[in-house]
Amino acid sequence: MRPIRWFKLPALLCLASLALSGCAQTPKRSGEAQAVQEPAMPEPPAVQAVQEPAMPEPPAAQPAQEPTEHHSTTGEIKAILDGGTTLVIDHGEFKGFMAAMTMPFKVADPDIARDIKVGDKVQFTISKFGPAWQISKIEKTGN
């Protein structure tokens, strides 16, 4: 019994010390490959600042835009509607754009039609504000 115990204990100590020194050992002593640099950690992709899409602005009042196209003709005022913001006009031909007919037109700025009355003969211009055609200029030529 005795020799066995004697043998066992150092064996265990030896194993333990091997394990410890194995961990503690510095791998290279050569001085040659010391400059091996850790590959830089790839940068994590920058966290995209996820931006809330801006709330769509309510469409601005159309007359704020510069009109892109204009047509002029003459006509006669048949009715004034919506507090002066719409004029029904029996209009002549807009050359190359629209045949003569009676139809309503929005007025870009009701102020420009302030003095217009039903029955007035007018010379007027419609302009394209965004998708909408509106009267941009109107003057009385007779009645």
- By beta-carbon proximity to Cu ion, the closer residue of 88 and 112 is 88
Smallest distance, Å, CB 101 to Cu ion? 4
Structure token digits, residue 109: 């700025």
Q: Which is nearer to Cu ion, 116 or 135 (CB)?
A: 135
Cβ proximity to Cu ion, 80 vs 124, nearer residue: 124
Shortest Cβ distance from residue 98 to Cu ion (Å)?
Answer: 5
Residues in a beta bridge with 105:
87
CA nearest to 107, candidates 92, 129, 90: 129
Closest contact distance (angstroms) between CB of 120 and Cu ion is 18
Quick check: 127 and 136 in contact, CB under 8 A? yes
Q: Which has the closest alpha carbon to 80: 57, 58, 106, 54? A: 106
> Residue numbers of the site for Cu ion (CB under 5 A)?
98, 101, 103
Name the residue nearer to Cu ion (CB basis): 85 or 94.
94
Q: Provide the 8-state DSSP code for 105.
A: E
Q: How far is the CB of 81 from Cu ion (least distance, A)?
A: 16
The position carrying tokens 């510095």 is 26
